Structure 1
Amino acid sequence: MKKKLHILYICLLFIHSNYMQSQISHGGKPLPWNAVSGAQSRSAGNDLFIEMPAFDVEEELRIDSLNESDLRGGYRFAYKFITDYNRNNSGINFSLPDGTRVWRLGIRSKGALSINVLFTKYKIPEGAQIFLYSPDRSHILGAFNHLNNSESGILPVAPVQGDELIIEYQEPAKAAFRGELTVGEVNHAYRDLKGDEPRLNSSDYKGISALSCYVSEGSPYEPLGRSVVMMLIDGTIACTGTMINNTENDGKPYLLTASHCLNKSFTVSNPDYQQVAGRIVFFFNYDSPTCNTLMRGTEEMSVASAKDIAINEQTDLALLELSQRPPVYYQPYYAGWNATQTSNPPYAGIHHPGGTVKRISWSESNIEQATFNTTGTHFNDNSHWWVKKWSDGYTAKGSSGSALFDSNGYVIGALSGGRSNPEEPFNDFYYALSQTWTISKETDKQLKCWLDPSNTNELLCEGLDPYGQNHCLKLSNVEATGLQESIEKTPISATNTEPLFGNNSLGITEYAEAYSVTGKALVYGAYFTTPSVTGNYKELNVEVTVYNGTNKPQTLLHTEMFRPSYQNLNTANGSFQETEKPLNRAQETYIHFSEPVTVEGTFYIGYKITAPEGTTFAVYNLPKGKTTKNTAWINYNNKWIEATAYPQNPFSTSLYIDPVLQYEKIVSNEKIKEKNPVHIYVEAENKTIRVLLPPNIETADFSLLSTDGKVLQYSRIQNNQSSIPVSINGQGVYLVKILYNNKCYIQKIIF
């Protein structure tokens, strides 16, 4: 692991919240290809596919190179076609026997690495739904439905891999009105957006550590990293933004970035910032699960569209408000901030260079305010923080807008530009919050009005988990061992290279990973870290399963198809669309359950595989000899057995499957220290305190104290997760003290 900075604890206030679903995809599947057979068909006078005209890729790359400047700019990866495709002039229309009206439109752009579109007109009735997918259906986005309607009437959607894209709209016969859909933009990706493995391992960003190299349980970077998001702007440009708190602690989803990300590095005069903000997709938790060998991260957690709140081109300020609060299972964090002119090293920048997985750069040197200007762009004098030298890492295109954190974990600025590179990690400039705080009397050109809405005149604000003590946790048996760098695809035996934890010639097709919780919890979904699928992954069917059982998987609680997808902007019409994620690469994927699953005690997250001959799906696991605590199970000869009992290759291991859960019946505490690695929950009804210790910690001293420090109850915790009945009289405020490894953590609770 890399060296970690020392950052003070940040306290978070609990906020009750309800989040909108307006830009989250809603599951389902497109119709089978033969649905049109026998259906009443009405062609719009065109074939299914529309061919986009050719363009000079080399010329676009040359133009990109000419636009190089000290501004970090956005990472431009796509060429934009302005279009006007709708149900009346493009594609094919047909009706199903039940009266459902269907519109299919194919878009082909030869040589595209991916295609994304913008629905510039998007208004559909309840019951209608839209899918976007590649012709082989290896990548599907959707469904999008009436909950994706917005005031702006547009919907940007994430890219679909490959040079062909199909849009499918389904509208019930008795819909309240006829849906309005226009594909107003088509974006042809001529270079990779988020760089799968070859780019990640290339020299382009060598020397910038993945955030996963610094993050562990209790690490100060764990919450800060959750505040940083990758931005896909207008379907063609990638930048970085940071979720940021305000003094009201009201959970407003504000995001800080740079104005030059929104105006194409000041090449667009008087841009319509509201229109641009509405055409952004924000990707959360796009991280490599491993440090040494970078892997593509989850792309399934995104929010589409925002509105501009404050823009100031004189300082490069851009403050946006997302169209919705990120759902609880995204595990969002809103960073705190420092608007003073004083801060201390070390400093950290967390960013997405080139739209790749999250990276971190940090500096142990002092910084100072300076004037930053570049060709054709003149910012206010002394409006920027000057990072003279990075101790580790640097920045690149796509890093623009990313936050600079001080030693206390506060945001003090956002990246405008610089010339740092692997050989010369010097001279980057971040606009200073202090210099854009009250720079203008116009509220839409300053920060204070929004980040200090009650006019407290505070210049420091702590970070916030918008879900407080009702937040979600990610459990990981692999990460608990600290051995995720050694994961592998274990072969069945020395003579058979088929994966032990994947479908193989021995007929094993179902696997599960065991977890246990104290009390009841809701499981929202799970992360799966998988090697590349071999063979014809397009015909692969993987079913995610949830079981309960006391000593083995017994009762099936839930199933969900393993069909990862993400949102993309349809630049043709400004709409957002769901895109299925390819499986032909090693990656981390989040599978969201259609509804939370209630578990209690021991439960199992698993997968069942149905695949054509020659196609193999597997999940990474800990190698033999790396752990003595087995948590992996195999359905062998129609019986569930532990991996240690598998006759061909028995050993203790854990599968890299990480459920995301939320404990039920949680009464929020007044405050909780986000950096505190101990999680404490209160069940007031049962007068019980639930304690979750960090991974690898099994014993600790528990004390319940009165607010004046009197010990009311003491016990020795002998398990990583414990429920402790307490004897107290009446309601009130108390303190819980947890002591282990000579470390003491105290938290205020309310009964």
Structure 2
Amino acid sequence: MKKIGLSLVLLVACAAGAQAQIGKGGVPESVQLRNDQQYVPVHTAVLPDWASFLQKEKAAIAAGTPKPLTLSLSTPTDISFPASGSITTLDNGRRIWRSQLRIDQAPAIGCYYDRFHLPQGVKYYISNGNGAQILGAFTSENNTPSGHFANEAVQGNLVNLELDIDAGVDLKDIDFHIYRSAVYFRSYEYLNAYEGMHTIDFIDTALDGSASVCTINAICPPGSAYSNQRKATVQILDPFGGACSATMINNTGNSPASCKQYLLTASHCQGENDTVSSAFDEMIVRFNFERAQCTGGGIPESRSMVGLNFVSRSIFDEDAIRGDFLLLEMRQTIPLAWNVTLNGWNRDANHALTVAAPKKFIGFHHPSGDVKKVTTSQSITGSVMLWTTVIDTGYGARGSSGSGFFDGDGNLIGIASTAAILNDMPCGVNAHNQQVDYFRRVNYSKLAFDWDYSVDGPNPKRKLKPWLDPANTGVVTLNGVKSNCTALEGSGTAIRNDATQLSDAISVYPNPSTNGKVTAQINLKEATDLSADIYAITGKKQQHINLGKVRSGVFTFDLGNYANGMYLINFSDGAATATRKVMLAR
């Protein structure tokens, strides 16, 4: 096992500047007009040598050199307006400029722009070869002071580029140039549904993702009582190569009239130790990149914004990681409709080391760049700098770095920093039978240690306290709020007294089971209609059992037809749930 940082290298399609990468929607005009007669120039770029890269990666791993996981490689590209495309002028004076980029054998492509300025009256669309995936419309609202922009990954080896230009727009006011592209070789599977028309079963399989088969989707039962923490968790994509997780976090100075939307992640997720906001011009923040259902469902949706301001950080030293925090501030206001929360926190250095079910220590994150996953445990250990846990349910991987670690009340207490990486079977593969890393033992940079951090000197930009408690209240805990800093309904979690009562009333044994049978002993305060759902550790529902009206009794579950491994039994009375983990080891 190697102890490494959890970040993962990802050459992504990124955008720079203060504006959010929010498209206006719509359909390219050429599609609306069925303009198939226009000549469209096709520009090619060289496919990066992935095989050679893999050999170098293998050698680095064999040498014990800690290397984050690379998902894509860049290739030079040269496409500009108007020279690289063709223009059709319509009867009403509107113009359509079109071009194409082809990189043979590319699974997915993202484009980088070093000149991007659209005047009012111009819409820009990007689509894949068959037009099933459309990004945009991007407009003058996406212009940036630096002139840089980019688009996220587009499925396939062909990208359609289109500018729809109103009559009266001076073409000289359009400045547009793609100077390089990123070709994705890993973690592009969620785009496969755009290949064409497929059955739902195909889509479900194609979207199983890049992380270990033993990871659990965030929406699944282990995370159901912690939806606010799930909504606060985001993915960040660093143009210098990193893909990490992060948490939107509240501070004591926030109010609906003055609301700062801070993002907290690990310092090693941006290893250059920059302390100026321009260094974060091209960082993408990805919200809601998760499944809407525990298993199956459609294409994972996400919304992204680009550009953050620097607030504070610890100095990252790969040879001696101490505090590991990076605090940034969103430049644009997160739309309330995105249903994002700013999570609360607990900076108690002497936090209780165990929690009783149904409460749990819990984390949400994006292992291997995949859709959001969940991990839980019932106990932790602590040192001056770290909280450490061995995950009970689920797994993480590189890409989980920077994710929040939440206590039983849903308060953030740590930031994912390092882990002991494994790659053995059966969890060392993903849904596409590709070998992947995963982890169970995780070290989290302790919020209490990072709070009044002194290792890097007295500068306020080397601490969290001045920013998370600007009112200097001295509070140890703070509740979460909505993204506009209005109050959340109810408490920080969905755990209620009746959930505690249900959990306390159920015992499951033997565990592990050596004959495929497990017994649930139940003793409720009063008779209740009860059901049980059995899930594989991947989140796939195996069976639904209606136990009927139960007050007290013993129930035996025959799991003899299931393969050895971990399973979850989720008991529900319609209002509360209780989950038990069981191991089959025959």
TM class by shorter chain equals 0.5 to 0.7
- Aligned partner of 1:247 in structure 2 is 252
Matches within 5 A, 1:270-669: 274=277, 277-291=280-294, 293-295=295-297, 298-314=300-316, 315-344=323-352, 345=354, 346-369=360-383, 382-387=384-389, 389-421=390-422, 426-439=440-453, 440-467=457-484
- Aligned partner of 2:79 in structure 1 is 85
1:60 aligns to 2:53 (yes or no): yes
Give the Cα separation in 2 of the matches to 1:447 and 1:285: 26
**Match of 2:405, SS?**
strand
- Aligned partner of 1:189 in structure 2 is 184
Question: What is the one-letter code of the residue matched to 2:21?
Answer: Q
Matches within 5 A, 1:109-124: 109-124=103-118
Q: What's the offset of the Cα at 1:334?
A: 0.8
**Match of 2:219, SS?**
helix
Give the Cα separation in 1 of the matches to 2:100 and 2:230: 38
Q: What's the offset of the Cα at 1:72?
A: 9.2
Percent identity over the alignment is: 26
Matches within 5 A, 1:650-729: none
**Match of 1:212, SS?**
coil
What TM-score, normalized by structure 1, do the two folds share? 0.52
Give the Cα separation in 2 of the matches to 1:70 and 1:410: 36
Question: What is the one-letter code of the residue matched to 1:225?
Answer: R
- Aligned partner of 2:22 in structure 1 is 24
Give the Cα separation in 1 of the matches to 2:92 and 2:27: 17
Q: What's the offset of the Cα at 1:125?
A: 1.6
Q: What's the offset of the Cα at 1:78?
A: 1.0
Deviations 1:53-106 (A, max 9, x none): 132211223344456599997653111124453215423344333333443231
- Aligned partner of 1:51 in structure 2 is 44
**Match of 2:234, SS?**
strand
**Match of 1:286, SS?**
strand
Q: What's the offset of the Cα at 1:201?
A: 5.0
Deviations 1:515-558 (A, max 9, x none): xxxxxxxxxxxxxxxxxxxxxxxxxxxxxxxxxxxxxxxxxxxx
CA contact (8 A) 1:394 1:422 kept: no
Q: What stretches of structure 1 of length at least 5 have no aligned partner?
A: 1-19, 42-46, 264-268, 370-381, 474-625, 627-693, 698-739, 742-751
Matches within 5 A, 1:66-215: 75-175=69-169, 178-193=173-188, 195=190, 197-198=204-205, 204-214=211-221
Give the Cα separation in 2 of the matches to 1:282 and 1:67: 30
Question: What is the one-letter code of the residue matched to 1:280?
Answer: M
Over 3 Å counting, the alpha-carbon distance change for 1:174 and 1:214 in structure 2 is same
**Match of 1:76, SS?**
coil
CA contact (8 A) 1:233 1:276 kept: no
CA contact (8 A) 1:211 1:359 kept: yes
Deviations 1:289-319 (A, max 9, x none): 333x355653243323323322323333222
Q: What's the offset of the Cα at 1:256?
A: 1.2
Give the Cα separation in 2 of the matches to 1:324 and 1:426: 36
Give the Cα separation in 1 of the matches to 2:185 and 2:443: 29
Give the Cα separation in 2 of the matches to 1:336 and 1:270: 26
CA contact (8 A) 1:394 1:420 kept: no
**Match of 1:444, SS?**
helix
CA contact (8 A) 2:244 2:366 kept: yes
**Match of 1:205, SS?**
coil
**Match of 1:419, SS?**
strand
Give the Cα separation in 2 of the matches to 1:395 and 1:71: 20
Q: What's the offset of the Cα at 1:222?
A: 1.0
Over 3 Å counting, the alpha-carbon distance change for 1:158 and 1:248 in structure 2 is same
Q: What's the offset of the Cα at 1:118?
A: 2.2
CA contact (8 A) 2:117 2:174 kept: yes
Give the Cα separation in 1 of the matches to 2:334 and 2:375: 26
**Match of 2:341, SS?**
coil
Over 3 Å counting, the alpha-carbon distance change for 1:402 and 1:203 in structure 2 is closer
**Match of 1:224, SS?**
helix
Over 3 Å counting, the alpha-carbon distance change for 1:201 and 1:140 in structure 2 is closer
Over 3 Å counting, the alpha-carbon distance change for 1:227 and 1:297 in structure 2 is farther
CA contact (8 A) 1:157 1:281 kept: no
Give the Cα separation in 2 of the matches to 1:154 and 1:24: 15
Question: What is the one-letter code of the residue matched to 2:94?
Answer: T
Give the Cα separation in 1 of the matches to 2:64 and 2:299: 29
Over 3 Å counting, the alpha-carbon distance change for 1:97 and 1:181 in structure 2 is same
More helix by proportion, 1 or 2? 2
- Aligned partner of 1:629 in structure 2 is none
Q: What's the offset of the Cα at 1:363?
A: 1.9
**Match of 1:303, SS?**
strand
Q: Number of matched residues?
A: 437
Q: What's the offset of the Cα at 1:390?
A: 1.6
CA contact (8 A) 1:83 1:186 kept: yes
Give the Cα separation in 2 of the matches to 1:321 and 1:73: 28
Give the Cα separation in 2 of the matches to 1:231 and 1:141: 19
Give the Cα separation in 2 of the matches to 1:253 and 1:695: 37
Over 3 Å counting, the alpha-carbon distance change for 1:235 and 1:85 in structure 2 is farther
Q: What's the offset of the Cα at 1:188?
A: 0.6
Deviations 1:241-297 (A, max 9, x none): 11111111243221111232233xxxxx56687455332332322222333x35565
Give the Cα separation in 1 of the matches to 2:138 and 2:144: 12
- Aligned partner of 2:522 in structure 1 is none
Give the Cα separation in 1 of the matches to 2:482 and 2:282: 26
Over 3 Å counting, the alpha-carbon distance change for 1:341 and 1:66 in structure 2 is farther
Question: What is the one-letter code of the residue matched to 1:186?
Answer: S
Over 3 Å counting, the alpha-carbon distance change for 1:273 and 1:222 in structure 2 is same
Question: What is the one-letter code of the residue matched to 2:142?
Answer: N
Deviations 1:7-61 (A, max 9, x none): xxxxxxxxxxxxx98432111211226777898x9xxxxx722111132211223
Over 3 Å counting, the alpha-carbon distance change for 1:226 and 1:249 in structure 2 is same
CA contact (8 A) 2:267 2:313 kept: yes
**Match of 1:223, SS?**
helix
CA contact (8 A) 1:92 1:103 kept: yes
Give the Cα separation in 2 of the matches to 1:284 and 1:70: 34
Question: What is the one-letter code of the residue matched to 1:278?
Answer: D
CA contact (8 A) 2:275 2:312 kept: no
Give the Cα separation in 2 of the matches to 1:276 and 1:66: 31
Over 3 Å counting, the alpha-carbon distance change for 1:223 and 1:88 in structure 2 is same
Deviations 1:472-529 (A, max 9, x none): 99xxxxxxxxxxxxxxxxxxxxxxxxxxxxxxxxxxxxxxxxxxxxxxxxxxxxxxxx
Question: What is the one-letter code of the residue matched to 1:289?
Answer: A
Give the Cα separation in 1 of the matches to 2:78 and 2:278: 18
CA contact (8 A) 1:106 1:166 kept: yes
Q: What stretches of structure 2 of length at least 5 have no aligned partner?
A: 1-17, 193-203, 317-322, 355-359, 425-437, 491-545, 547-571, 578-586
Give the Cα separation in 1 of the matches to 2:206 and 2:243: 15
